[in-house]
Structure 1
Amino acid sequence: MSGTSSRMLTLLSLLQARRDWPGPLLAERLDVSPRTVRRDVDRLRALGYPVTALKGPDGGYRLAPGQDLPPLLFDDRQAVALVVALRTTAAAGGDLGEAAERALAVVAQVLPSRLRHRVDALADTVVVSGEQPAVGTEVLLAVGAAVRSREVLRLRHRDETRRVEPHHLLHRRGRWYVLAWDLDRDDWRTFRLDRVEPLVPTGPRFARRPVPGGDPAALVEARFKGSAVRDAWPVVGRVVLDRPAGELAPFVGDGTLVDLGDGRSGLTLGSWSWPALAAAVARFDADVEDVSPAALRRAFGVLAERSRRAAAPPPRPRPGRTNGPTGSRSGRSGVGRQSR
């Protein structure tokens, strides 16, 4: 590749990586004169790249959006990241997944040979596990536009219409959500995008409310844990389990595990309620000691009573009664008797 062509590719890569570039700084990065930068910019314009000049003491350049998407340059790491992202999106299915499949085919055609074989291996190694609900492209764009323009959005959700102020789009564990202030519930709510239908027209503009705690992602995580604001479980307990830490470690999740020796482990775990926490501890299939606090000990008693009732055999039918629809003690037909 000639020096001019190589320099133009470097210039294009720089323009893509940053919104505005002062002319002298570009000349310094390319190790050429400002006049050479102007000539290279003219060459890019001739190839269809919408490079605009910026006014100012030193001048500058910006790669502006055009009518068509021009060829883009990616370094090796960017290309691999792009392929992984497209494969993940394609696994979700739906029209967005189909678009990702087509984009992936386009990228694969222009990959250099040194990358193509490495990226092809990702086809067999990148696997998206679990449910990946499909979200329509139009749904994602409509909700995103309402978030950006701060317009009240009407959503059809579970056969009812909700009016919300959409604040943030979030992607969590393979699903898309919108964090919004629900005008009908007067509270923050999180909606899965694969379960809603945006309705048009949108409502009036709104002044964005401050998110409790200032972190939208933390607020959503808190709601999934049953907490009002903080990204923390409402209840946290500590126990000692009669089982080695090495056997428990793969299943602890966001808990804290301490190896106490002699085949015993200390576990700190959280949940949304005390009985739920007791049940979470019971799933480790080990004897439990040193339970704290007292609320967790009482919850084990509640769980034991529920388990006792669940384990009890079903009651026997009363003598003289049958399980048939017409059976009765007198043997008369039950037809015509009113059910309550």
Structure 2
Amino acid sequence: MTTDTPGRLLQLLSLLQTPREWPGGELAERLGVSRRTVRRDVDRLRELGYPVQATMGADGGYRLVAGKAMPPLVLDDEEAVAIAVGLRAGAGHAVAGVDEASVRALAKLEQVLPGRLRHRVSTLQAATTPLTSGDGASIAPETLTVMASTVAGRERLRFAYRAGDGSDSRRLTEPYRLVSTGRRWYLVAYDLDRDDWRTFRVDRVSEPFATGARFAPRELPTGSAAEYLRQSIQRRQDSYAYEVEFTGSVDFVASRVPAWAGRPEPLEAGGCVLRGTSGGPMEWLAVRLAMVGCDFVVREPGELVRCVRELGGRLSRAGGG
């Protein structure tokens, strides 16, 4: 019989998180308590924010349903390892749809993982090789989780950095946000040694170290970290401006392009126009434009127009056209 009420509540919650309906008698038998105690424990879970639904019947049943808020989850060892491995695999590559939120979740989970589970996660990941597209830089998940924890905790971050020209330096920063562009991760941070805001490609970062020193967040010069990154890329010499018209609506196109690409604007004749700046390969931008899912016309630059034509011809030939 389970006499420890907190322990019994956690055991009950773990059972209810299995996607099925539990008869009251079965729960009472599993927990070694009376049905009346089960009813009281269910009421306690509801007070804590867990949406437990009861059904009428001879035996009565309980199940956990979707609620208005996300209460804490109770994971067993296998579930915790599975989630951590999945988040690590996604965080190692800046793919569309896997952004800062997943990295924050990974940082929170690894912070509370017992040592035995942390070892299982590391061992499993070391024994596997992800099949990736090869168009994005690989990043150690530990690097992202350290950065995410310092962003969330407003803690100064020190790291080694290799610039695009190959020069090495040590940086002491006040991290602001991690930004995923779909191909790469960037850190937007205030560089204390240079007394200015900077963006850092995370795949060029090594030896990240959370110093433990707290700081009061500064005001970013632009409205968002994504906008600051876009302007930072625009200032680089190897960047180029582009203008693309889409037949789709503003909301549709905005939902299919990354934030760094800019915000589309409506056109009087219908559709919308996207203006932005990129410092990445034009081939990649051409692919991303084609993936939006509606017809489009590249207005500039001419090199991007040629790139899109070549891509279209290559895809047409591949399809037998």
Q: Structure 2-normalised TM-score? A: 0.41
In our comparison, the structure showing a higher alpha carbon Rg is 1
Q: Structure 1-normalised TM-score? A: 0.39
Larger RCO (CA within 8 A; separation ≥ 6): 2
